[in-house]
Amino acid sequence: MAATPDPAPLMPSDNESLTQIESQARSELDAVDDDDALERWRVSYLGRRGRLTLVLRGLTSLPLEERKSVGAQANRLKRELEAELQEKKARLGQSATEALIAERIDVTLPGPPLRAGRLHPTTQTLRDMLDCFVSMGFQVVEGPEIEWDHYNFEALRIPKDHPARDMWDTLWIDAQEESDRPMLLRTHTSPMQIRIMEQAQPPIRVVVPGKCYRYEATDPTHEWMMTQVEGLAVDEGISMADLKGTLADFAHRIFGPDRKVRFRCDYFPFVEPGMELRIDCFLCGGEGCRTCSRSGWIEILGAGMVHPEILESVGYDSERYTGFAFGMGVERIAMLRHGIDDIRLFYSNDLRFLDQF
């Protein structure tokens, strides 16, 4: 409550002698056995309107002689009581601590449960991957999941009726009207290579995370919705050696410094030369097992030097600028990191699965 003004000090009554106060205070203090009672005792004797306080305040109305002797006694008593109060307080505290010690609890019991929330394992692995590339100077950008055929295929040198289209079975959007601009669910994050280069000039260094979709029957290693990370670097003087170095750094950071990393030739229409990164199988140590289809190596990602026709098509001078691009599946990397043997677990969202990460 708000402060209220003090009432006028009261005089002790005749029979309220200091001796009486002293003896009552001492016997009451003796009986005090907890902190609350001690506080009540303090208020009743030493508080703002406590009995001893009132005696001291009333001194001014006494004749000088009396004032002196009563004053001296009252002040002595106040000092003594205050000291005894402190002493009692310490004793009480000590005995409370002793009581706690005596009580003992079962330290093996669990604490009350806190609800743990977690990020999805795809999100966790994706963040680690992006952190790794960000530390190498790549910026994170995103693009549309529903794309034009132009960006997903045509501009990446995969024209209609090109056999390479078999590499990406596609989910098409039903056009309400006949259109020469087919729309689709992007099959990879590579369309962003074109979109980025159309809007910026070298130097370029980006990674593009995002969902991709394939027309695909699901099984332990195939899922129709997946998350990819695309990378693109374009500048003067970028070589395959730089691509190898960037990807090797990435693989060692994500899978550990002892992993063996190998690069083999591979084909993607939008890169030349093309490559694939493999790491030695950590299940069999390179001996060959089911996970690595007996090769001892596990494919991690596809990459290559940006095709010069693509650089020219976005208006870059392909003699001056070179670049590399790579793309990889986040779930696959999460599977390898966590020993998950079925990709369908990711998006079935069973909490017994999600709780483990």
Partner 1 sequence: MRVPLKWLSEYVDLTIGPKELAERLTMAGVEVAEVITAAGEWDGITVGHVVDVSPHPNADRLVLATVDLGGEQQTVVCGAPNVAAGQKVPFARTGARLIDGRTGEHTVLRPAVIRGVESAGMVCSEKELGLSEYHEGIMVLADDAPVGVPIASFLGDPVFDLEPTPNRPDLLSIIGVAHEVAALTAAPVRDPSSEYSAARKPIKGRVQVQIDDPDLCPRYVAALIDNISVEESPAWMQERLMAAGLRPINNVVDITNYVMLELGQPLHAFDLTRVGGRKIIVRRAHAGETLILLDGAEQKLSADMLVIADAEAPVALAGVMGGLNSEINLNTTTVLLESANFHGPNIRRTAGALKARTDASNRFEKGLSPHLPPIAAQRAVKLMVEMCGGKAADGIIDVYPGKRKDIRVTVTQRRLHALLGMELPVARVRQVLSSLGFSCRWVPPDRFVVRVPYWRTDVSIADDVVEEVARIIGYDELPTTRLRGALPPAQPQPRRDLRTRVADILAGAGMQEVITYSLTSLGALRKVVAPEDLSVDAPLRIANPMSQEQEYARTSLRASLLRTLADNVRRRDEFTALFETARVYLPRPGDLPDEVETVAAVITGRAPGRWGEPEGEPAGFYEAKSYLDMLLGRLGVSAEYAETADYALLPGRAAAVSVDDRRIGLAGQVHPRVASQFDLEAPVAMFELDLDALLPHVAGPRRYQPAAPYPAVEEDIAVIVNRDMPGARVQSIIQAAPLVRSARLFDVYSGPQVPPGKKSLAFSISYQAADHTLTDEEVRRQQERILTRLRGEVGAELRG
Which of 155, 325, 330, 334 is catalytic? The answer is 325
Residue 115 DSSP label: P
The reply on whether position 107 binds partner 1 by CB under 8 A is: no
Site string for partner 1, 219-258 (x = CB under 8 A): -----xx-------x-xxxxxxxx-xxx-xx---------
Minimum CB separation from partner 1 for residue 16, in Å?
32
Q: Residues 59, 173, 195, 313: which binds partner 1 (CB under 8 A)?
A: 173
Sole window of 6-14, 73-81, 99-107, 281-289 interacting with partner 1 (rule: CB under 8 A): 281-289
Give, for 158, the enclosing helix (H) or strand (E). none
Binding partner of 139, given partner 1, Zn ion, none, CB within 5-8 angstroms per partner class: partner 1
Q: Which is nearer to Zn ion, 73 or 291 (CB)?
A: 291
Q: Within 13 Å and on the Cβ side, how many CA atoms surround 66?
A: 10
Which of 188, 205, 278, 307 is catalytic? The answer is 188
Q: Residues 144, 220, 256, 285: which binds partner 1 (CB under 8 A)?
A: 144
Contacts of 116 (CB under 8 A, 6+ apart): none
Tell me the sheet residues that pair with 222. 219
DSSP string, 56-100: HHHGGGS-HHHHHHHHHHHHHHHHHHHHHHHHHHHHHHHHHHHHH
SS3 (DSSP) at 181 = coil
Binding partner of 18, given partner 1, Zn ion, none, CB within 5-8 angstroms per partner class: none
Q: Is 168 a catalytic residue?
A: yes
Residue 222 DSSP label: B
SS3 (DSSP) at 229 = strand
The reply on whether position 99 binds partner 1 by CB under 8 A is: no
Q: Footprint of Zn ion on this chain (CB under 5 A)?
A: 281, 283-284, 289, 291-292
Q: Which is nearer to Zn ion, 131 or 287 (CB)?
A: 287
Q: Which positions from 40 through 69 interact with partner 1, judged by CB under 8 A? A: none
- Cα-Cα-Cα-Cα dihedral of 238, 244, 247, 252, to 10°? -140
Crossing angle for the helix pair 18-31 and 35-46, to the nearest 10 degrees: 170
Binding partner of 142, given partner 1, Zn ion, none, CB within 5-8 angstroms per partner class: partner 1
Could you give the residue numbers annotated as active site? 168, 188, 214, 228, 271, 325
